[in-house]
Structure 1
Amino acid sequence: MSTAHVLLGLLTPQALHGYELKHAHDQRMPGAKPLPFGQVYATLKRLVRDELAVEVRHDREGGPDRTAFGVTERGRQELDEWLATVEPPAPHLSSMLLAKVVITLLVADENTARHHLAAQRAAHLARMRELTAIKIETHTALADVLAADLLIAHLDADLRWMQNVLDRVTELRLEVHQ
């Protein structure tokens, strides 16, 4: 994810202070890693330097000066280009789940491997239930629903993969131990 582009997108509808921008990110990107304030301000500084954003006003509301930032025409063009660029599918797996399954098959007996997979499946199913509950709440924000949908799809793919592993544990252990 390009933090600079995400911040440009969040600034496009209206100018925001760094503090507001951080909270807009965390609200609009539910499930994503929260953005540290330091990263917001460092990114804003680069956006201004590169003429993609500009200071639009300075406010003082009973505290320190706050600078609101807006997107320049050049910033909007950059954002449009980024949005139109297709993201390539990830070239490599980086899954702790895969690593644990492979290592379990290397070091544990078949029953232990099945037990670990069953426990992981139970955790995935519990998380899917939590996400489904979020989706059916009456005042759930659209961003939260979209994030829940994406997470559910990933969990579902993991569950299907784990079932495939469970169906082949004996065969996989034999292959690993040859």
Structure 2
Amino acid sequence: MVAMSAPFVLLGLLAGGPRHGYDLKHAYDRTLPRAKPLGFGQVYATLGRLERDGLVSQSGQEREGGPDRTTFALTEDGRRKLAGWLAAVEEPAPHVASALLAKVVVALLAAGPEQALAYLAAQRRAHVDRLRELTRAKSQPGATVGDVIAADYAITHLDADLTWLAATIERVATPHPGEPS
């Protein structure tokens, strides 16, 4: 399984031409607006590792009214590595790892169906609120195609969670034979 990672995103951003770390950080944040933000320290540490591994090289220095900024360019090895990553199909996750699932199961075990139903109802409201927020964000003036596809991705996952929440509420609310009531 190949994981999405900041190094590959930085390689992808460098595929368009040389850039310095400050520009890469801001391009990352603009390109993946709903992803966890990338810190400047992480950008420079990642560039150092990519350079060490021969995937990027220093291509010059820029000064834009501030300190010197080293620009980095993608090497041929970097282009090959990026192409391989882009060609690799992401396998579906083999395990379910979700705080949402864990909380529902623990609520059922520790507090019983009433507490689990209260949690499920509160979580459903939070999901619906987030769904509305993302739907509004897609229609904001200046929303880029990256903003819209990131929102669509998040909305699809929220929709799946909402479907699961509805089914789980029904299952928890309906007593099952053989289970203590």
Instruction: Tell me if TM exceeds 0.5.
Output: yes
Distance 1:95 1:58, change over 3 A: same
Offset, 1:119: 1.1
- CA distances 1:59-104 after superposition (whole Å, capped 9, x unpaired): 1233221101111122111100110001111111111100110011
Does residue 152 (structure 1) correspond to residue 166 (structure 2)? The answer is: no
Structure 2, unaligned stretches of length 5 or more?
Answer: none
Matched residue of 1:127: which SS?
helix
Distance 1:100 1:168, change over 3 A: same
Matched ranges for 1:23-34 at <5 A: 23-34=26-37
Does residue 7 (structure 1) correspond to residue 7 (structure 2)? The answer is: no
Provide the aligned C-alpha RMSD in A.
1.8
Offset, 1:12: 0.8
Does residue 127 (structure 1) correspond to residue 130 (structure 2)? The answer is: yes
- CA distances 1:120-156 after superposition (whole Å, capped 9, x unpaired): 1111001000000011223211111111001101111
Offset, 1:107: 2.1
Which of 161, 164, 168 does residue 167 from structure 2 map onto?
164
Matched residue of 1:168: which SS?
helix
Give the Cα separation in 2 of the matches to 1:153 and 1:97: 16
Distance 1:104 1:172, change over 3 A: farther
Does residue 92 (structure 1) correspond to residue 72 (structure 2)? The answer is: no
Count residues with an aligned counterpart.
177
Give the Cα separation in 2 of the matches to 1:173 and 1:113: 19
- Contact (CA 8 Å) 1:51, 1:74: kept in 2 or not? yes
Does residue 59 (structure 1) correspond to residue 62 (structure 2)? The answer is: yes
Matched ranges for 1:40-119 at <5 A: 40-119=43-122
Matched residue of 2:92: which SS?
coil
Offset, 1:172: 6.7
- CA distances 1:12-43 after superposition (whole Å, capped 9, x unpaired): 11211101111111111111111111111111
Q: What is the one-letter code of the residue matched to 1:75?
A: G
Distance 1:62 1:136, change over 3 A: closer
Structure 1, unaligned stretches of length 5 or more?
Answer: none
